[in-house]
């Protein structure tokens, strides 16, 4: 048990709230259902305990909470209380009693028609309110939209920015791959436009049940966000036009939240000419990495820093290399020091190798250069025309750049292959990867560092890093091939399950390269997942894990990652089975109760009918016998019997409504009793289908895997 869970165990008191139970856990902390002394309930989020010692985080968190409190309270979960100064910082928001959009779509299917339109308008309204308060959500996704009885509510707004700018996440990305804008994935400076992109991605999921940029692997999803087209399913009309405008790769071409709301309400399509640049609400540029500057040509970087590619007012002359500094080889036709200079990060450079080293060290500035068409063109002109370097691929400067980070990596590897492989400040030698990918838990639970690791685990990146002429080149190339093998293995495994198991056909399978890389670098970490306390999960994980045990190497890593990726599907199946089993128990009890009640009312009715039918014959017999033998008294006995029968019939008639309800109620009871067997049969068939799926999964996974590569 980690420190966060220990401090936040249910039953503890946080501020005025007593924690009742855990509601979920994510990248920033764990959320509990809390109850105050007056009965008020709240969703209490405790941030990860390892942030407690970061004073900068506490200061920013306090400021952001104060800012988030100014967001209008409609369509959002309002902030009730917070304490950034607590031993474990916490925040309490309005408790929404309802499912998340993610769970609702998974269990009930995509939204349609007016329901989808209401969802779009409500969430756009919330987004406009959040942005109007100067807050950017940064992690809008189906899990952060609650479907309350009175309409959708957006949760977890404004917290990501406070956390994102701390040193804890200085080397990571806040957000969820699949709903993140391209500039968010690339570590560029962000604006409110990222939320508009995420909103459109959420609407596609709500309408289709799958992500707009779906794919079998994390790498394929990232590539599709950066350069591919969204899959919008059967969306049509003005909503489709709005969604496509919001999914534009260029932030400045997306409508802002206010314009988005207007188009949704008016039912109009955005005009690209009319879209406006989103309001920037950040203070200063986003710096995704904490870097240490080394000696580069021209000495230390001056302050203030000029824009990349432009000369400062006074450019320092190149300083002689210090002890231990690299001695770059001459590039181009100019003798060393005679080439026209290129200015980067406030320093003048005449040798491409030294510029590459500076870009590797000052990664965020380099991303700015390659992410801007004009800046990239200036660099290309210097490389091609001024120094006439022939080692760097000209396409880096002549084609549109979709992934600025990969462009930087390619430039550095080609211009200075003798440098050690680094990416966004991370050491990507095999040893460095081993240190980075040492713990699968953040990748499984969605920790804040997971997204950064997912970017680092792409095979194309490792293949690019292998271009550095170091002792790790062959191993990095092999890791890239192994990840691809593992991804194919995991995708084939999921395909095998969906083809043979009826209940799996609605689930999308993914094999996360970051988890695969963790298992490749540390095979001892590839152990069966902990099923937790949810009944039914253990039997499924045990059945699937037998396939992992039968494989080795990259295929074992692929199977293991596929099983972990299937955990949400397994949990959904386990919950569905629990719902069906409980519903069957309720139906069985109801059937038993109704059967007794209907039997009693039928018996009552039978006796009543018999008595009613007996009155007339008895009365007739009494008159006949009285006429035939007036002195015998037999006629009087029959008369008394008929009177008694009539009186009993009257009593039973009066008692019928008292004991068994009105005629309508009795008919409803009988109708319900007739329909229960059909519902019960469907539940039994569903449970039997799950049993057959589980048995078939055991059979499939116990067989030796067939090689597909």
Retrieve residue 22's tokens: 């855990």
Q: What is the mean pLDDT of residues 526-543?
A: 84
Instruction: Between 525 and 311, name the one with better pLDDT.
Output: 525
Q: Please spell the DSSP secondary structure of 225-239, one letter per residue.
A: HHHS----TT--HHH
| Residues assigned a catalytic role | 139
Instruction: Report strand pairing: 347-349 vs 13-14.
Output: unpaired
Q: Would you state the pLDDT for residue 705?
A: 61
149 three-state secondary structure:
coil
Q: How confident is the model at residue 263 (pLDDT cuts 50, 70, 90)?
A: very high
| Nearest alpha-carbon partner for 483 in 558, 548, 562, 556 | 558
Instruction: Between 613 and 331, name the one with better pLDDT.
Output: 613
Tally the residues of the chain: 709
Return the residue matching tokens 């200061």: 59
Q: How confident is the model at residue 314 (pLDDT cuts 50, 70, 90)?
A: very low
Q: What is the mean pLDDT of residues 595-614?
A: 82
Query: Looking at residue 173, what DSSP letter applies?
Result: -
The answer on whether 584 is annotated among ligand-binding residues is no
Q: How confident is the model at residue 556 (pLDDT cuts 50, 70, 90)?
A: very high
Condensed to tens digits (0 to 9), the pLDDT of residues 21-61 reads 888 765 556 788 899 988 889 888 887 655 556 676 667 67
| Nearest alpha-carbon partner for 64 in 143, 183, 187, 164 | 164
- Asked whether 189 and 165 are in contact (CB, 8 A), the reply is no
Q: Would you state the pLDDT for residue 475?
A: 96
Could you tell me what percent of the chain has a pLDDT over 90? Answer: 40
- C-alpha–C-alpha distance, residues 497 and 507, integer Å: 10
Phi/psi for 455 (5° steps) reads -65, -35
Q: How confident is the model at residue 622 (pLDDT cuts 50, 70, 90)?
A: confident
Please tell me the least confidently modeled range out of 506-515, 566-575, 604-613.
604-613
Q: Would you state the pLDDT for residue 168?
A: 33
Q: Would you state the pLDDT for residue 10?
A: 62
CA triple 433-435-440, angle to 5 deg: 90
- Asked whether 228 and 196 are in contact (CB, 8 A), the reply is no
- C-alpha–C-alpha distance, residues 594 and 671, integer Å: 10
Q: Would you state the pLDDT for residue 331?
A: 41
Q: Would you state the pLDDT for residue 132?
A: 87
Q: Output the CA–CA distances (angstroms, integers) from residue 110 to 119, 235, 324, 377, 539, in the order listed.
A: 12, 11, 61, 45, 29
- Please give the CATH superfamily to which domain 1-95 belongs: Phosphorylase Kinase; domain 1 (3.30.200.20)
Whether the per-residue pLDDT at 286 is higher than 50: the answer is no
Q: What is the mean pLDDT of residues 193-217?
A: 92
Q: What is the mean pLDDT of residues 619-635?
A: 72
693 three-state secondary structure:
helix
Could you tell me what percent of the chain has a pLDDT over 70? Answer: 81
Condensed to tens digits (0 to 9), the pLDDT of residues 229-243 reads 999 998 988 899 999
Q: What is the mean pLDDT of residues 447-454?
A: 75
- C-alpha–C-alpha distance, residues 110 and 209, integer Å: 5
Q: What is the mean pLDDT of residues 178-185?
A: 87
Instruction: Give, rounded to a whole angstrom, the gap between the first and last alpha carbons of the chain.
Output: 40
- C-alpha–C-alpha distance, residues 439 and 212, integer Å: 29
- C-alpha–C-alpha distance, residues 424 and 364, integer Å: 8
Whether the per-residue pLDDT at 544 is higher than 90: the answer is yes
Q: What is the mean pLDDT of residues 327-333?
A: 41
Whether the per-residue pLDDT at 631 is higher than 90: the answer is no
- C-alpha–C-alpha distance, residues 317 and 298, integer Å: 6
Query: What CATH architecture is 106-282?
Result: Orthogonal Bundle (1.10)
Whether the per-residue pLDDT at 329 is higher than 60: the answer is no
| Nearest alpha-carbon partner for 523 in 473, 486, 476 | 486
| Nearest alpha-carbon partner for 61 in 181, 144, 160, 178 | 160
Q: What is the mean pLDDT of residues 653-659?
A: 78
Q: What is the mean pLDDT of residues 343-352?
A: 93
Q: Would you state the pLDDT for residue 447?
A: 59
Q: How confident is the model at residue 493 (pLDDT cuts 50, 70, 90)?
A: very high
Whether the per-residue pLDDT at 324 is higher than 60: the answer is no
Q: What is the mean pLDDT of the chain?
A: 81
pTM assigned to the model = 0.65
Condensed to tens digits (0 to 9), the pLDDT of residues 409-424 reads 999 999 999 999 999 9
Instruction: Between 475 and 399, name the one with better pLDDT.
Output: 475
Whether the per-residue pLDDT at 319 is higher than 60: the answer is no
Q: Would you state the pLDDT for residue 147?
A: 92
Q: Output the CA–CA distances (angstroms, integers) from residue 543 to 26, 498, 556, in the order listed.
A: 27, 15, 15
Q: How far is CA 451 from the centre of its chain?
A: 12
Please tell me the least confidently modeled range out of 172-181, 330-339, 534-543.
330-339
| Virtual torsion, Cα 82, 86, 90, 94, nearest 10 deg | -30
Peptide bond connecting 64 to the previous residue in cis, omega within 30 degrees of 0: no
Please tell me the least confidently modeled range out of 103-107, 547-551, 649-653.
649-653
Instruction: Between 492 and 25, name the one with better pLDDT.
Output: 492
CA triple 39-43-44, angle to 5 deg: 100
Query: Looking at residue 529, what DSSP letter applies?
Result: P
- C-alpha–C-alpha distance, residues 393 and 397, integer Å: 8
């Amino acid at each position: 048990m980690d420190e966060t869970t220990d401090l936040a165990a249910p039953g503890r008191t946080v501020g005025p709230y007593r924690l009742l139970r855990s509601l979920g856990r994510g990248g920033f902390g764990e959320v509990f259902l809390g109850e105050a002394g007056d009965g008020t309930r709240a969703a209490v989020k405790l941030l990860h305990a390892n942030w407690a010692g970061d004073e900068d985080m506490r200061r920013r968190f306090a400021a952001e909470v104060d800012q988030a409190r100014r967001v209008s309270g409609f369509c959002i979960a309002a902030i009730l209380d917070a304490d950034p100064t607590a031993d474990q910082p916490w925040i309490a928001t309005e408790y929404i009693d309802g499912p998340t959009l993610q769970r609702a779509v998974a269990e009930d299917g995509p939204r349609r028609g007016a329901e989808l339109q209401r969802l779009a308008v409500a969430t756009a309204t919330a987004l406009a309110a959040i942005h109007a308060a100067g807050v950017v959500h940064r992690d809008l996704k189906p899990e952060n939209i609650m479907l309350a009885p009175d309409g959708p509510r957006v949760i977890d707004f404004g917290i990501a920015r406070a956390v994102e700018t701390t040193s804890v996440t200085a080397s990571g990305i806040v957000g969820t791959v699949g709903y993140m804008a391209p500039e968010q994935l690339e570590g560029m400076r962000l604006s409110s436009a990222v939320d508009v992109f995420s909103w459109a991605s959420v609407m596609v999921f709500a309408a289709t049940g799958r992500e707009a940029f779906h794919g079998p692997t994390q790498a394929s999803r990232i590539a599709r966000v950066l350069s591919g087209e969204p899959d919008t399913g059967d969306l049509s009309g003005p909503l489709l036009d709005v969604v496509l405008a919001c999914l534009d790769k260029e932030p400045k071409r997306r409508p802002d939240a206010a314009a988005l709301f207007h188009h949704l309400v008016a039912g109009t399509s955005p005009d690209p000419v009319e879209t406006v640049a989103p309001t920037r609400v950040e203070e200063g540029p986003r710096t995704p990495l904490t870097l240490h500057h080394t000696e580069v040509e021209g000495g230390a970087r001056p302050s203030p820093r000029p824009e990349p590619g432009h000369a400062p007012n006074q450019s320092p002359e190149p300083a002689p290399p210090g002890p231990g500094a690299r001695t770059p080889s001459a590039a181009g036709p100019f003798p060393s020091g005679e080439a026209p200079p290129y200015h980067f990060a406030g320093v003048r450079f005449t040798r491409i190798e030294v510029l590459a080293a500076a870009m590797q060290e000052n990664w965020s500035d380099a991303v700015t250069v390659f992410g801007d068409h004009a800046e990239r063109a200036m660099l290309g002109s210097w490389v091609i025309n001024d120094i006439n370097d022939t080692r760097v691929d000209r396409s880096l400067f002549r084609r549109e750049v979709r992934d600025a980070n990969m462009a930087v990596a390619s430039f550095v590897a080609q211009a200075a292959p003798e440098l050690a492989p680094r990416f966004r400040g991370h050491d990507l030698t095999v040893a460095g990867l081993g240190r980075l990918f040492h713990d699968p838990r953040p990748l499984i639970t969605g920790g804040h560092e997971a997204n950064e690791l997912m970017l680092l685990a792409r095979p194309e990146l490792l293949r690019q890093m292998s271009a550095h002429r170091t002792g790790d080149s062959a191993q990095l190339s092999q890791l890239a091939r192994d990840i691809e093998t593992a991804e194919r293995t995991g995708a084939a495994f999921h395909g095998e399950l969906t083809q043979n198991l009826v209940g799996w056909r609605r689930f999308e399978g993914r094999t996360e390269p970051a988890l695969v890389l963790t298992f490749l670098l540390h095979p001892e970490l590839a152990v069966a997942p902990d099923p937790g306390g949810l009944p039914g999960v253990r039997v499924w994980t045990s059945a699937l894990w037998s396939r992992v045990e039968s494989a080795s190497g990259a295929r074992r890593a692929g199977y293991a990652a596929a099983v972990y990726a299937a955990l949400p599907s397994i949990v959904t199946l386990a919950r569905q089975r629990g719902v069906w089993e409980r519903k069957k128990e309720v139906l069985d009890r109801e059937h038993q109760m109704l059967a007794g009640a209907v039997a009693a009312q039928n018996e009552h009715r039978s006796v009543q009918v018999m008595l009613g039918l007996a009155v007339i014959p008895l009365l007739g017999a009494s008159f006949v016998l009285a006429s035939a033998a007036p002195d015998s008294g037999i006629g009087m006995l029959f008369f008394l019997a008929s009177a008694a029968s009539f009186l009993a019939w009257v009593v039973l008639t009066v008692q019928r409504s008292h004991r068994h309800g009105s005629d309508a109620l009795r008919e409803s009871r009988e109708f319900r009793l007739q329909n229960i067997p059909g519902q019960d049969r469907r539940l039994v068939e569903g449970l039997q289908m799950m049993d057959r799926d589980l048995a078939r999964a055991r059979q499939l996974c116990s067989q030796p895997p067939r090689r597909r590569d």
